[in-house]
Amino acid sequence: MKTVQAYIDSKQKEFANHRFFDVLRQLKSLEELRYFVPELTFWVMTFQDILRLNEERVTDPYLKKIARHHRLEDAGHERWFLHDRNYLSNKTSNDEDILWLFGKATRSMRDPAYAILAEVYRSDSEWLNIALLLVVESSGHVFFERVAEQVEKTGEERKLKYFSRSHLDAELSHALFDEEMERALYATPLPAKTRHDAMQLVDRCYDAFDRMFDGLVIACNRRLERTGQEVL
């Protein structure tokens, strides 16, 4: 499993160079930072189902403990997101939001989210379910670190929950829940086929994240155009 984690780390470094993070650095205020938030809604809510369904697929007691821990650690974070989304947009959710959420404009976010959700069911080894958790965790670390940095620059971090440094700290603390368990996890040798399948899973998931974040770039530029600002 250590080999799989090393591969995830390499893909994480590539993901950190996605163009979205260049765009993010140019968003200087909460008013501008909200440009990518609506499109994130579908992924944030779907992610909770991914964690739940993934745990249900795992039966090995040792691996299930890991899956359950990840689900519980992220439980309720969607409420943090909705708090920030409503604060940044100065409104609460309504029926128009639901129609928009499943409309053409958000396909670039929904389709990759469905692709990642499909990984829960396509695996023939519970180790792949754990690999899926490690992948989504690794991409989240990049995103939350970069976003927290930009939010801090606005001086208004305390007004937010999901996009705050405290959420990043919560994400980073996941790896500290049981050091002995983690050592055992990474020391476990995987069969060659499982290791190969896990790396293919990593590739598919990061391809989905790349497409998802391409959608965020489009969303940001669409809103910049509407306000007469320079497209990034």
The 8-class DSSP code of residue 190 comes to P
Percent of the chain scored above 70 by pLDDT?
A: 89
8-29 confidence digits (pLDDT tens): 999 999 999 999 999 999 898 9
CA 67 to chain centre: 16
Q: What is the pLDDT of residue 230?
A: 63
User: Domain spans of the chain?
Assistant: 2-226
Q: Does residue 96 carry a pLDDT above 70?
A: no
30 or 226, which is more confident: 30
Weakest mean pLDDT among 42-51, 82-91, 134-143, 215-224 = 82-91
pLDDT tier for residue 62 given thresholds of 50, 70 and 90: confident
Residue indicated by tokens 């896990």: 198
pTM value is 0.89
Q: What is the pLDDT of residue 222?
A: 86
Q: What is the pLDDT of residue 95?
A: 46
Q: Does residue 145 carry a pLDDT above 60?
A: yes
Which of these CATH numbers, 1.10.150.20, 1.20.910.10, 1.10.10.10, 3.40.1400.10, describes 2-226?
A: 1.20.910.10
Average pLDDT value for residue range 182-202: 88
**Mean of the per-residue pLDDT values of the chain:** 88
Q: What is the pLDDT of residue 17?
A: 97
Residue indicated by tokens 């984690």: 5
Q: What is the pLDDT of residue 16?
A: 97
Q: Does residue 111 carry a pLDDT above 80?
A: yes
Burial per residue of 110-133, b for 16 or more beta-carbon CB atoms within 10 angstroms, e otherwise: bebbebbbebbeebebbbbbbbbb
Average pLDDT value for residue range 76-100: 78
pLDDT tier for residue 157 given thresholds of 50, 70 and 90: confident
**Which long-range CB contacts under 8 A does 69-78 form with residues at least 24 apart?**
69/174, 69/177, 69/178, 70/133, 70/137, 70/174, 73/170, 73/173, 73/174, 73/177, 74/47, 74/48, 75/48, 77/44, 77/48, 77/162, 77/167, 77/170, 78/44, 78/45, 78/47, 78/48
Average pLDDT value for residue range 111-125: 93
